[in-house]
Structure 1
């Protein structure tokens, strides 16, 4: 189960077991989706047609930016563990203790937007990782200072590899 939001007033509970078994707020959700390649999809739902394109995906922060029928939509996902930590009041405590940024998937570093010694705030872009023909902006998981960069421009990285060390 995921909780997906596009802002404080728009929150949905999404549960899926397989591609053909999706519920939205506890109700069955019937749709047809066709992968057009390069992060583009065509969706049919209740007789309406939608064109979707993944603009940005940050798998660490669980955020996705889509272009849906030409309009930009920012999604934030929370899984059951995020929701549990939030209920226990621990969500901010874990973010404050981050010492490093690791690669969420294998890929190629195509842009470095910070330097050692630079102060960053949570959500600031640090690196751009190209994976599966998509550019993913990796953002600061918490406020801090960049201690060192463990990668260089055009480096190939593996999932879980340390990219940025914070002080």
Structure 2
């Protein structure tokens, strides 16, 4: 690897180590850097103990599992399921949770859901919020299509990789 390409590589181990030290030094809970189609995200597991999380912009981020308790508030009913023929097939993509946390279908308790069954989404459409360590992370669809199924309930605890939505990429 040339010196120039190493300097441009956000996944260079020396750069990651420096970012972890920066997190420890300034007691940061999270660092999320994006440049063109590259992304690196570091999430702290606690004071001074960062967990590495990285991925390309078009791929989900990774985070180490940590226990997360769901809030005691009442859970809203799930969105109605679409007919089975609409939610399965080669044109169906699944949006998965990029982290461990609590799923929120809407920005606040009095607001409408970000998306519902039948909603059209673009790559930058926010489909939900996942709260992790008191940080509210807006989750973009990262694909285009139409929501055909919501797979989790509002305020449900989710793990990394848990399916959240099914998207029909034809719509």
User: Normalising to structure 2: TM-score of the pair?
Assistant: 0.49
Decide which structure has greater helix share.
2
Greater strand share, structure number: 1
- TM-score, structure 1 as length reference: 0.50
Which has the higher relative contact order, 1 or 2, with Cα contacts under 8 A spaced 6 or more apart?
2
